[in-house]
């Protein structure tokens, strides 16, 4: 079985050794070399074209974007990924502009990262964006703040229904509806129906039919 090669440019020896050890356990991948500087990476890439190049953003006095620029200049078609702890939209945007296939935060799990490589190589994934995925996860977590009943009542509040009207439509007591309204406002840290409407719009929970 032919294996995909992964080249790593990172000046953290412990990370390099850990990544190489992990890659050695994979059936589809092998480590095709590594470097601690852009200069050494340029020398290596002059004679090798790995399938994947994993580039640390911080490289002593340099940064990974410089290596991305070089790879684009020599028209090398490796799938490049910037790896960093920085949650920086500007760096992410520049990496994508320079042809990177992904912007990966170092908080990612090793198996998830391998899955990203597989999807990128197969063409299933155009660009992996840790920042966007992290943002979506945060939104999804926040969406779960409201129970289904609270969400139902919140939408009725946005339709300018009174507590009495909501209670009648749902077959609940006025006290129960009042309690739900108070709880949902506390959960979203809101004070009035406008805050409820803005919250639902923020998470795409309010439509014309809601």
**What's the rounded Cα separation, in Å, for the pair 90 and 190?**
32
Instruction: Check which CATH number belongs to the domain holding 172 and give it.
Output: 1.10.10.10
- Name which residue leads in pLDDT, 88 or 142: 88
Q: How confident is the model at residue 140, as a pLDDT?
A: 66
Beta strands in 76-130 (DSSP E): 79-84, 102-105, 128-129
Q: What is the mean pLDDT of residues 62-68?
A: 93
Q: Which of 79, 88, 90, 67 is nearest to 128 (CA)?
A: 79
Q: Are residues 83 and 101 in the same domain?
A: yes
- Name which residue leads in pLDDT, 60 or 52: 52
What are the Cα distances from residue 183, in Å, to 41, 159, 167, 174, 195? 57, 19, 16, 14, 14
The domain boundary residue, chosen from 135, 163, 178: 135
User: Which residues have a Cβ under 8 Å from the Cβ of 197 and sit 6 or more positions away?
Assistant: 157, 158, 206
**What's the rounded Cα separation, in Å, for the pair 143 and 151?**
9
What are the Cα distances from residue 40, in Å, to 10, 44, 78, 181? 11, 6, 17, 62
Q: How confident is the model at residue 62, as a pLDDT?
A: 85
Q: Are residues 10 and 89 in the same domain?
A: yes
Per-residue pLDDT band for 98 (boundaries 50, 70, 90) equals very high
* Tally of domains in the chain: 2
Q: DSSP code of 160?
A: T
Given a cut of 80, is residue 207 above it in pLDDT? no
Structural domain of residue 156, as residue ranges? 145-202
Given a cut of 80, is residue 208 above it in pLDDT? no
Q: What is the mean pLDDT of residues 174-194?
A: 91
Q: Are residues 111 and 28 in the same domain?
A: yes
Q: Are residues 64 and 119 in the same domain?
A: yes
Q: What is the mean pLDDT of residues 67-91?
A: 91
Give 8-19 pLDDT, tens digit per residue: 999 998 888 899
Q: What is the mean pLDDT of residues 72-84?
A: 92
Q: Are residues 76 and 96 in the same domain?
A: yes
Q: Are residues 99 and 127 in the same domain?
A: yes
Q: Are residues 52 and 114 in the same domain?
A: yes
Is residue 140, in this structure, part of any structural domain at all? no
The CA angle 122-100-98, to the nearest 5 degrees, is: 140
What is the number of alpha carbons within 13 Å of residue 9 lying toward its C-beta?
30
- Name which residue leads in pLDDT, 153 or 133: 153
Map residue 41 onto helix, strand or coil: helix
Q: Are residues 71 and 104 in the same domain?
A: yes
* CB atoms closer than 10 angstroms to residue 46: 10
């Amino acid at each position: 079985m032919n294996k995909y090669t992964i080249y790593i440019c990172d000046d953290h020896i412990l990370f390099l050794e850990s990544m190489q050890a992990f890659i050695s356990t994979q059936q589809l991948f092998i480590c095709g070399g590594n470097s601690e500087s852009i200069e050494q990476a340029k020398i290596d890439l002059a004679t090798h074209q790995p399938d994947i190049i994993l580039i640390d953003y911080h490289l002593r006095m340099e940064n990974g974007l410089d290596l991305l620029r070089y790879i684009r200049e020599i028209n090398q078609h490796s799938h490049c990924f910037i790896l960093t702890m920085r949650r920086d939209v500007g760096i992410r945007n520049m990496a994508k502009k320079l042809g990177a296939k992904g912007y990966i935060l170092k908080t990612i799990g090793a198996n998830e990262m391998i899955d990203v490589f597989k999807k990128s190589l197969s063409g299933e994934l155009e660009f992996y964006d840790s920042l966007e995925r992290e943002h979506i996860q945060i939104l999804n977590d926040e969406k779960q703040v409201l129970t289904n009943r609270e969400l139902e009542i919140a939408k009725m509040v946005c339709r300018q229904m009174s507590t009495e009207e909501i209670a009648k439509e749902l077959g609940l007591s006025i006290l129960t509806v009042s309690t739900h309204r108070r709880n949902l406002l506390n959960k979203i840290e809101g004070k009035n129906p406008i805050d409820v409407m803005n919250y639902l719009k923020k998470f795409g929970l309010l439509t014309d039919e809601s």
